[in-house]
Amino acid sequence: MSKYPLLGMTLAELQSVVRGLRMPGFAAKQIASWLYDKKVATIDEMTNLSLKHREALKADYEVGGEAPVDAMHSVDGTIKYLYRVGENHFVEAVYIPDDDRATLCVSSQVGCKMNCKFCMTGKQGFTANLTSNQILNQINSLPECDKLTNIVMMGMGEPLDNLDEVLKALEILTASYGYAWSPKRITLSTVGLRKGLQHFIEESDCHLAISLHSPLPSQRSDLMPAERAFSIVEIVDLLKNYDFSKQRRLSFEYIVFRGVNDSLIYAKELVKLLRGLDCRMNLIRFHAIPDVDLNGADMETMTAFRDYLTSHGLFSTIRSSRGEDIFAACGMLSTAKQEENNKN
Q: What homologous superfamily is domain 70-343 in, according to CATH?
A: Aldolase class I (3.20.20.70)
What pLDDT sits at residue 342? 53
Residue 213 annotated as binding site:
yes
Which pLDDT does position 2 carry in this prediction?
87
- Give the whole-angstrom CA distance, residue 113 versus residue 133: 21
Spatial distance between the Cα atoms of 181 and 221, rounded to a whole number of angstroms: 36
Please write down the long-range contacts of 39-48, taking CB distance under 8 Å and 24 or more positions apart. 39/140, 39/145, 41/65, 43/6
Catalytic residue among 105, 206, 279, 330: 330
Q: What is the mean pLDDT of each run of 10 residues along the chain (344 residues)?
A: 92 98 97 98 98 97 97 94 93 95 97 93 92 98 97 96 98 98 97 94 96 97 96 96 88 97 97 96 90 93 98 95 65 55 54
Q: What is the pTM of this model?
A: 0.93
Q: Among 125, 129, 130, which Cα is nearest to 114's?
A: 125
* Predicted local confidence at residue 332, as pLDDT: 56
pLDDT value for 344? 54
- 206 labeled part of a ligand binding site: no
> Can you give the pLDDT at residue 222?
96
Q: Report the CATH architecture of 4-62.
A: Orthogonal Bundle (1.10)
330 is catalytic: yes
Q: What is the predicted pLDDT for the residue at 321?
A: 76
312 annotated as a binding-site residue: no
- For 132-226, where are the alpha helices, taking DSSP H only? 132-140, 163-174, 194-203, 217-223
Q: List the catalytic residue out of 92, 165, 227, 253.
A: 92
pLDDT at 86: 86
Q: Is 92 among the catalytic positions?
A: yes
What are the residue boundaries of the structural domains of the chain, listed by start? 4-62, 70-343
Annotated binding-site residue? 313: no
212 is in an annotated binding site: yes
